[in-house]
Amino acid sequence: MKTLKRLAFISSLVMLLVAGCTKDFEEINTDPNRSVVVETGYLLTYSEKVLMDWLRDEWFGGRVNQLLAQHWSQRNYSDEDRYLFRTAVNNSAWSIFYRTMMNLQRIIDLNSNESTRVQASSSGPNDHQIAVATILQVWIMSIMTDSWGDVPYSEALNPSILQPKYDKQEDVYALMIQKLIDANSKIDLTLPAPNLTKGDLIYNGNMEKWKKFGNTLRLRIALRAYHKVPAYLNDVLTLPASSFFESNADNAIIEYLPDSPNQGPVYIAFFVSARNDFTITKTLTEILAGRNDTLNVGKNNPFAGVVDPRIDVWSYPNEDGTGPYLGQYVGMPYGMEDTYTKAFAKHCPDYTVHPSVVHEPDFGYTYMDYAEYCFIMSEVNGWNQAWYEAGIRASMEFWGVATADIDAYIAAVPAANEENVMTQKYLAFYMQPEQAWFEYRRKGYPLMLLNPGEISHRQLVEGVMTDIMFNQLEGEGIPRRLQYPIEESGVNPTGYEGAIANQGADLLTTRVWWDKP
Amino acid sequence: MKRLCVFLALIAFVGVNFLHAQTVQITGTVTSAEDGMPIPGASVQVKGTTIGTSTDADGKYSLGVPQTATTLIFSFVGIATTEVEIAGRTVIDVVLESEFVTLEEIVVTALGISREKKALGYSIQEVQGDDIKQVGQTNVLNSLTGKIAGVQITGSSGNTGGSANIIIRGIASVTGNNSPLFIVDGVAIDNSSYHSADAARGAGGVDFGNMAQDINPDDVESISVLKGAAASALYGSRALNGVVLITTKKGKGQKGLGVTFNSGVTFENVAYSPAHQKVYGGGSIASGATSLDGFATAEINGTIYRIPDFALDESWGPKYDPNLLVLAWNSFDEWDTKNYLVPKPWVYPDNNHLSMFDTGISYTNSVAVVGGNEMGDFRLSYTNMSIDGYTPNNNITRNAVNFNGTGKFSKYLEAFTTFNYVRTWGKGRPEHGYGDHNPVMRMNQWGQNQLDYKEMSEYKNPDGTQRTWNRTSWSNPTPVYSDNPYWSYFENYPEDLRNRVYGNIGFTLNLFSWLKFRTRINMDHYNFNAETRVAVGSQAESGYTINQRVRTEMNYEGMFLVDRNITDDITLNAMLGANRMEYGYSRTGGYTQGGLLLSNWYHLSNSVVTAVPYYYLENKRVNSTFGSLTLGYRSMVYVDATFRTDWTSALGEGNNQYSYPSITTSFIFSELGALKGNNILSFGKVRLNYAEVGGDTDPYRTAIAYNSNSNFGSNPNYSLPETLNNPTLRPERSYSYEAGIELMFLQNRIGLDFTYYNTETEDQIIDVATSATTGYTRQLINAGLVVNKGFEVLLSGTPLKNWNGLTWDITLNYAKNDNMIVELAPDVETYRLTSLFGAEIHAEEGQKYGTIRAFDFVYDDKGNRIIQAGGTNTGRYLNGPMTSLGSYLPDWNAGIVNTFSYKGVDMMVQVDMQKGGKAFSLTHMWGTYSGILERTAETNENGMNIRDDVASGGGVLNTGVYGRLDSDGNVVYTDAEGNDVANPIANTTYIGAETWAADHYSRARGPQNIFATDYIKLREIRIGYTIPSKFTGPVSNVKLSAFGRNLAIWGRADGVDWDPEYVHTAGNIQGIEGGALPSLRTFGLNLSLNF
C-alpha cells in the first residue's frame, strides 16, 4: 500500500510538471521547411520570372490582353473575346503583380535597412539592387495603372495598412516618374561589372542596360501622360540619346529555358496544359496580308497591298483540303459567339500543329524594346520618317526577318504619319499586347480593330448567307480599362469606393485619367 | 480555475489517507429476467451504509463490503429495489424483473469513462455495432447517416473507398477543421483527408478518403457521439466540433474461449446517372461545299466518306438516322481490319456510356477469438475486406487486426491494451470532379453521345499507343481534349497503400474501492503512400507523383478517478489528470517534370527533367491538465464541472496557455416523490449545461519564412509567402450552452428527447483574405464570430410490443441548425473559400456559411426575368450580377428508423431526408452546353424538338419580359425590337437550342445550374434471421441478414438525374458538383456465427 501511495504521489507530481513545461516549444514551432533568411538575388529571379509567367500565360495574357489587342482570338469559347472576363483571372493577375512588387520591396528593404544591408550586398551593391527593384516595380505599376486606372501605390505594400487608398492616376504617374529618376541616380556605372552578382535574368547584372531600361521606361510613361502633363516628356527628353535603348541589344527580355519547369508561358499553355485555345485574329492577319476589311465599309488598311513578312513568323497559309481558304492566310474573325468560333477554327492556324517561334519553350519575352523607343521618337519628332523606318526594322530584326525582306517592305509601305506609325507600333507590340491596347486607347489605331456591333464574319447559316456580328457581352465598345477584381470591393471597400468617387463607375467603359479629354 | 484544481488535488490526496476496516470483495452480474441480458448501471449498495457501486456495461459489479454487512440492495431507477442476503457468499448474481432496461444505459463519455446516461447533463447518442457491421459499409461514417440527430454525414456512394464528410451541429470554424475528433478506445484517430485543392473544389483529383475510414466496422462495439462542447471539453480544443467515441469489442464477460465468424458480400450497381439525349450524335453540324448531310466529308482512297466532327467534344451533331453511313472514330487504323474504313449507321449506340460500369462486388470476412477468466480477457480479430469496384480496374483491399486485452495481476493492478493494425491497398480509385482523368465527367459534360463504349474498350494500338475518339482530325489521331475512357482507367490510375497502427497500453491501480489511478500511452501512426500516374501518350503531359505521408500522434495520459458516496444521498465522482500530446507529420516524395522518358515505368528517376522532391515536416506538442467533479443527489440531481488547461507549442510565448471550464446539470424530476410510480410519465429529466473551449492552430504560423521555388537554371528562386504569419496569434474560443429535456411515457413505450443549443465561436484564427495591395493576399489574425444554434428532437416509440410475437420500434430524429457568420474580420465582409467556372463558395458576414455565388438573372421589381431585345440576341437572358444564391448547408436533416422483430427475424427500415441546401452543378452546366443531357433534345411547346429550326417551330422560349438596363443599372422595359415601353411585354422570341444551351454558361449561370440538394432517401432495408440454437448444434448465434441501401431517392434535380447527396472530398469546401460519380444501389448478404 505504501508503494502505491508513493507511486500515486509521484505520478501526480510528474503529471502536473510535465503538463506545465513549455521549455522546448520555440524549437518545436520553428518551421523546418522554409528558410527565414534569403539572398536578395533569389527574390529578383523570382520577380523577373513570375511577372512574365503571369502576364503572358493563357489567362491574363491569352484571355485578357491578347484579346483586348485583337492580336489573338479564342478558337472555341469566346466569352472573353466579347469582354466577359473571368473574375478569378482578373483577381489572380492583380494579386500576383502586387505580391511581386512586395518581393521587390523586400529587396529594397533588405538593401536599405542598416541591419541587413551588408548581408544583402552579397547580391550586388545595395544601391544597384534598389534601382533594379524600383525599375521593375514601376514597370509593373505602369501596366497596372494603365489597365485599371487609379490603384493603390503610395500606401500599398505595407501589411499594417489593411485598406490602402487608391492613388489617383495622376499621382501614380508622378510617383512613377519620381521613382525612375531616383533609380537612375542610384546607378553608378563606374563600379566594375557585373554590377549585380546574383539573380538577374534580364541583363545578367549589366547596370548600364538597366539604366537605359529605366530611362526608356520613363519615356514610355511620360509619353502616355503627355496629354495631361507635358513636362514629364519634356524633362526626360533632355537626357542624352545614350541614356536610352540604342539597339535591339539593349532590349529588356527574359529568355526562358528549354526544359520544364522553366519554359515560357505560351509554350506551357499550348503544350504542357495542352490548351489549343488561341489563334491569330482576322484583324491582325488582314493588316499583315495587306488586305482591307471587306465586311465593314471604310475600315481600310494603311498598308493595303503590301504583305508584311512577319506574317510568316506569326501565321502560316491555310492547308485544309480543297477548301476555299487553301493557301490563304486566314485569321479568326474576332468577337463571334462560340457556336461560330468552333466551326471556323479549323480553317485558322493551329499552333499545336505549326508552332511559331512564340510557342518555343525558350522564347524571349519582352519587357520593353528598342522598336518601341523608335516609334516614340518618331512621334515626339512629328511622325519622323527615319525613326519610323528604324522602328519597323528593329521589330522585324527581332522577329528574324531577312534584311532583304525588311528593305523591300520599308520601301513599299507609305510614309510616316500618325496612322502609319501607330499601326506599325501596334504590329511591333505583338507579344506585348497590353501595350498595343494602351496605345489604341491613347491614339485610336489601328483603325482596322473591330468594334462591337460591326460585322465579324459572313457565312452560310442554315443555308442563308448571314452576317455574324461582334456582339459584346459586357460594356460598350472596346474597353477603356479593366474592372477592379471583385475581391477588392470586399477586402478594401474604403479604397475601392474612393477610386470610384474619383475615377467614375467601375466599368469597362470608364476612361482613366490620361484617356479623359 | 486554479482553486478548483487545488480542491481536486486535495480530494485526491486526502482520500489516500482514509483506510477502511476489513472488507470482503463481492462480485456478480445483474441480468434481466426478460431476456437474460446484463443490466448495466444498476446500483448495488450495502444496506445501512454509504458503500455502493453500479454495474458496468456488462452488468458486472465488484464491491468491497464490510464483514459486518448482511444485505445488498440492488436498485434501478423506475422499479422497486431488490434486497439480497449476502449469507457469506462472495459471488452474488441477481436477476431483476424489469421492463425498463433500455433506459438505464451506461454510455461511454469523454476520456472513456462509463457513465449512467441518466446522470449526464448533455445530449449523447449511441449506435450499436450490429447496425454498423451488417450494412457492408467500408467507411464506418457512412453507416451512421441519418441515425443521429444533429450529425450530418454526407457520403458519395459512387466514390468507392472515398470520403464521407461529417459535421456535428453546424460549421463553427471559418477556415479551420470542422471535423469532430475521433476516439477509438481512448486513442485519438486522425481523420485528415489528403487531396489537392482542386479535388476539394470539384475540379478533379482522386479522393483517397478520410483517414477515419481505417476504423474497421466489424470490430466496433458501439459508437457514441458527443455533440456539444460540454460533452467534449475534456478532450480540449480538438473536440470543439464534437467527438465520435468508438468502443471496439472486448473479451469482457467471456468465460472460456469463443469464436465468431462473420462473412458479408455486397453488390453495387449504378442507380442514378444523368440521362443523355438519344436523338442527336456528337460533334457539330457541318455545312458548305465539303459537307454531306451535316457531316464533313473526306476522300480516302478514292471514296468519299461522311466524317463526324471528332475533334469537338460536344453532341450537337446530326440527328441519328440509320440510313446515314459514317466512319466511326476507330475506322482509320489499318491494323483494325474489322473497322478500317467500314462505314456504320449513324445511331445511338448499343453499348452506351453506362455499359462501362460493372457490378461492384465486395467481400468482408472476419474471424474473432474471445477468451477470458478471472485473470483477464481478450479478443483478437482479423478482418479481410476486398472491393472490386464498379469502375474498371478498381480494387481496394483492407486487412485489419484488432486485439483487446486486460489482465488482472492483483486486486490492485489491472493492465490493458488495445492494438489495431490496418493495411489498406487501393488501385484505380476513380478520379472524380472536373478532372482530366475522370471519364464520368467526360461522358456527362464533354463527350459525344453516339460512341459505343464496347468499341472504345479497344483503347490501344498494337504498338501500345492510345486510340481515342477525340481525334484532332480523321487523319490525325492525337487527342484534342479527351483520352479514351478505358485508357484513363487502365493507364492513368492511382495507387495507394497505407499501413496504420493504433492502440494503447496502460494500467489501472485500484488504490481504494473509491480511488483509481489510470495511466496509458496512446498511439496513432500511419504510413500512407499515394501515387498517381499519367501514361505517355495521354492528352495531358505524362508524369508520376508519389506522396509518402507519415503521421504519428502520441498521447501520454494519467489520471486519478474518484467514485464514492459521501452520504446516503450524495455521490461524488472526480477526476484529475494530465496529458501530453506529441504530433509529428512528414510528407516526402515528389513529382516528375516535363513528362516521362520511358513509357510504362513509374518512378521519379524516369523524369524528363529532374523530379521535384517533396520534403515537408511538422511537429507540435500540447501539454494539458484537466479535471472533473460530479456530485449526485439521490440519483436525481447531478452537477458536473470540468476544467482544462492547455499549453501549446503552436502559439507564441504569452499566448500559448489557455484554460476553459464547463458546468452541466441534470435533474431527473421523475424521481421526485410525487411523480414516482406514475403510470403515464415513466421518466423525466431536464438538462442544462454551459461550456467553453479554447483552441490553438497549426504549427509554424507565427514567424515569416520564404518559399523555395524551382531554380531557374542555376538561379535559385525564392519568394515571400502569400500569407503573412502573425507572432501575436491568440487562442480561439467557443462558448456554448445547451438545454434539453428527456421524457418517457407509458412504461417507456413513447420517448422524447429534445435539445436546444447555442454555440458561439470567436477569435478564430483565420487566414483572412487581405487586399493583395498590402503585399499579402492573406494575413493570419484572430477574428470572427460564428453562431450555430438549433435543436434536435429524438422521438421514439414502440407501437407494437410483443404483439403475437411482433415488436415494432420506431425512432425519429430531426435536427435543425441555424448557422450564421456574425462577423468575419474588421472590414471584411466575405471570405472566398473557392471558385470554379464562375461559381464561388464564400463565407459571408450575415449569412449562413458556404454561400454559393454566381451570376444571376436580371429581375425587374416584380421578379420577372429580363430578356434581351433588339438585334440578334433577342430572346436571351440578360446576364445579371454575381449574387449569393443560397448555401450548401442544409436547414435540417431527419431520419426515421423502424425496427421490427418477430421470432428471430428482425427487420430495419430507414428513411432519411435533408432540406435546404444547394449545390452548383457543373454536370448540368456543361452537359447542357455540350448537348449531351436529355434536356438538350427535348420537345418544346410547339411539339417540335428544340433543336429544330426556330423558323419551323423549334427552339426554346425563355421565360421573362423584354428589357434592358440603363446606364444607372435600372431595368427599362422594351418591346421585342428593343424600343422602350412602359409596361412589361412577355418574351415570345424563340432562340436556337445551341444558343440556349451555351447561355447556361454565359448568362445567369447561377440560377440555371444551382439545384436544391433536398432529398428523401430510402436509405436502408435490412432483414435478419437468427436461426434458433436447437437447429445449429455446437454453433450459436447463427444470424443471416440481407440488406439494400440507397434504394430510392425522391428529390433528384430536374434535368440532371443526380443523387443530391454527393461529396468530392471531406472538408469545408462543398457546394460545387464538378463531375460527381454515379450514385450506386447496394445489396448485400451477411452471415455471422459463434462457436
**A98 and B619: CB-CB below 8 Å?**
no
Binary contact (A19, B13; C-beta < 8 A) = no
CA distance A407 to chain B (A): 38
CB contact under 8 A, B612 and A4: no
- Of all residues in chain A, the percent with pLDDT exceeding 90 is 79
Minimal Cβ distance to B771: which of A5, A272, A488:
A488
Distance between terminal CA atoms of chain A? 98
CB count in 10 Å sphere of residue B15: 17
Q: CA A285: distance to chain centroid?
A: 22
Instruction: Tell me how close the Cα of B1071 comes to any Cα of chain A, in angstroms.
Output: 18
State the pLDDT at residue A10.
64
* Whether the predicted pLDDT of B224 surpasses 70: yes
Which pLDDT belongs to residue B4? 38
The reported pLDDT for the residue numbered A17 is: 60
pLDDT at B80 over 60: no
What's residue B1054's pLDDT?
Answer: 62
Dihedral of the alpha carbons of A179, A185, A189, A192, in degrees to the nearest 10: -80
pLDDT range class, residue B13, cuts 50, 70, 90: very low
pLDDT tier for residue B867 given thresholds of 50, 70 and 90: very high
Q: What amino acid is encoded at B952 in this protein?
A: S
The HSE-up count of residue B186 (CA atoms within 13 Å, CB side) is 26
Asked if B703 and A199 come within 8 Å (Cβ–Cβ), the reply is no
Question: In angstroms, what separates the C-alpha of B222 from chain A's closest C-alpha?
Answer: 31
Q: Does residue B100 register a pLDDT over 50?
A: no
* Cα–Cα separations (whole angstroms), residue B777 to A14, A150, B710: 45, 19, 22
> Which of B542, B626, B774, B925 would best serve as a mutation to test chain A binding (most A beta carbons within 10 A)?
B774
Q: Report the residue from B612, B656, B771 with minimal CB separation from A492.
A: B771
Measured between beta carbons, the chain B residues lying within 8 angstroms of A343 are 284, 286
Which among B710, B775, B873 has CB closest to A159?
B775
A-B contacts at Cβ under 8 angstroms: 277
Nearest to B593 among A261, A338, A488 (CB): A261
Residue-wise DSSP of B347-416: ---SS-GGGG---EEEEEEEEEEEEEETTEEEEEEEEEEEEE-SSTT-EEEEEEEEEEEEEE-SSSEEEE
Mean pLDDT over the full length of chain B: 88
CA-based nearest distance B541→chain A, Å:
6
**pTM for the model:** 0.81
Q: Which of B13, B718, B837, B853 to mutate: most A Cβ within 10 Å?
A: B718
pLDDT of residue B77: 55
Binned at pLDDT 50, 70 and 90, residue B672 comes out as confident
Residues of chain B with pLDDT > 90: what percent? 59
User: How crowded is residue B952: how many other Cβ atoms within 10 Å of its Cβ?
Assistant: 9
Edge-to-edge strands, sheet with B23-32:
B60-66, B23-32, B94-96
Mean pLDDT (whole number) for B801-825: 91
CA B648 – CA B938 distance, rounded (Å):
61
Task: Report the candidate in B1058, B1066, B1065 with the shortest Cα–Cα distance to residue B440.
Answer: B1058
| Segment A128-164, tens digit of pLDDT | 999 999 999 999 999 999 999 999 999 999 999 989 9
Contact A29 B777 (CB under 8 A): no
pLDDT band for B21, please (50, 70, 90 cuts): very low
> Given a cut of 90, is residue B422 above it in pLDDT?
yes
**Residue B204 pLDDT grade (very low, low, confident, very high; cuts 50, 70, 90):** confident
Sequence length of chain A is 517
pLDDT digits (tens, 9 = 90+) for A389-429: 999 999 999 999 999 999 999 999 999 999 999 999 999 99
For A98, the closest of B312, B775, B873 (CB atoms) is B775
For testing contact with chain A, the best of B608, B700, B706, B773 (most A CBs within 10 A): B773
What is the pLDDT confidence band of residue B20, given thresholds at 50, 70 and 90?
very low
Which comes out higher in pLDDT, residue A210 or B201? A210
What pLDDT does B93 receive? 84
Residue with cell 541614356: A243
pLDDT at B374 > cutoff 90: no
In this model, does residue B793 exceed pLDDT 90? Answer: yes
Task: Report residue B8's pLDDT band, with 50, 70 and 90 as the boundaries.
Answer: very low
Render pLDDT for B999-1044 as a digit per residue (tens, 0 to 9). 999 899 999 999 999 999 999 999 999 888 788 777 888 889 999 9
Picking from B511, B579, B709, the nearest residue to A8 by CB comes out as: B511
Which one has a higher pLDDT value, B653 or A447?
A447
Alpha-carbon gap: B517 to the closest alpha carbon of chain A (Å):
7
pLDDT band at B116; cut points 50, 70, 90: confident
**What's the pLDDT tens digit per position in A62-112?**
999 999 999 999 998 898 999 999 888 999 999 999 999 999 999 999 999
CB contact under 8 A, B480 and A164: no
Model confidence pLDDT, tens digit, residues B326-354: 999 999 999 999 999 999 999 999 999 99
Which of B501, B474, B65, B508 shows the shortest CA–CA distance to B304?
A: B474
Residue B549: Cβ-neighbour burial (10 angstroms; 0-12, 13-18, 19+): buried
3-class state of residue A273 by DSSP: coil
* Beta strand B866-867 pairing with B892-902: unpaired
Name the nearest CA neighbour of A78 among A510, A460, A430, A452. A452
Report which of residues B967 and B1061 the model is more confident about: B1061
Residues A290-310: what's their mean pLDDT?
94
Residue B1056: pLDDT above 90? no
Q: Is the pLDDT of residue B318 over 90?
A: yes
SS3 content of chain B, % helix, strand, coil (to 5): 10, 50, 35
Percentage of chain A exceeding pLDDT 70: 95
**Lowest mean pLDDT, pick from A232-236, A253-257, B197-201, B523-527:** B197-201
Inform me whether the pLDDT recorded for B6 exceeds 70.
no
Give chain B positions within 8 Å (CB) of A24: 621, 649
What pLDDT, in 10s, does the model give residues B486-499?
999 999 999 999 99
pLDDT of B184 = 92
DSSP state of B179: P
Give the model's pLDDT for residue B12: 38
In angstroms, what separates the C-alpha of B204 from chain A's closest C-alpha? 15
Residue A260: its chain B contacts at CB < 8 A?
Answer: 593-595, 608-609
Q: Do A22 and B540 touch (CB under 8 A)?
A: no
- Average pLDDT rounded to a whole number, residues B3-23: 41
In this predicted structure, the answer to whether residue B18 has a pLDDT above a threshold of 50 is no
Test the B interface: residue of A12, A254, A465, A484 with most B CBs within 10 Å: A12
**Bridge partners for B816 per DSSP:** B791, B892
Per-residue pLDDT reduced to its tens digit, B621-659 = 999 999 999 999 988 999 999 999 999 999 998 899 999
Kindly list the residues from chain B whose CB atom is less than 8 angstroms away from the CB atom of residue A461. 287
Q: What is the pLDDT of residue A512?
A: 97
> Considering only B197-206, B545-554, B791-800, B1005-1014, which range has the smallest mean pLDDT?
B197-206
Interface probe with B: pick from A14, A35, A42, most Cβ of B within 10 Å: A42
Residue among B284, B541, B577 whose CB faces A272 most closely: B541
Tell me if residue B821 falls in helix, strand or coil.
strand
Which residues on B lie below 8 Å from A463 (Cβ)? 287
Asked if A201 lies within 8 A of B715 by C-beta distance, the reply is yes
- Inter-chain residue contact B290 with A322, CB threshold 8 Å: yes
Q: Which residue of B653, B707, B832 is in closest CB contact with A34?
A: B707
Higher-pLDDT residue of A110 and A261 is A110
CB A433 within 8 A of CB A466: no
Is B583's pLDDT higher than 90? yes
Mutating which of A24, A162, A318 best tests the B interface, going by the most B Cβ atoms within 10 A? A162
Cross-strand pairs, B785:
B762, B823
CB contact under 8 A, B284 and A5: no
| Alpha-carbon distances of B680 from B666, B676, B743, rounded to whole Å | 21, 10, 10
Q: In this predicted model, which residue has the larger pLDDT, B565 or A375?
A: A375
Tell me the β-bridge partners of B808.
B800, B900
Locate A54 and state its grid cell: 503571369
Looking up cell 438538462, which residue turns up? B687
Contacts of B796 (CB under 8 A, 6+ apart): B750, B751, B752, B753, B809, B810, B811, B812
Say yes or no to pLDDT of A249 above 80: yes
Distance in Å, alpha carbon of A288 to nearest chain B alpha carbon: 28
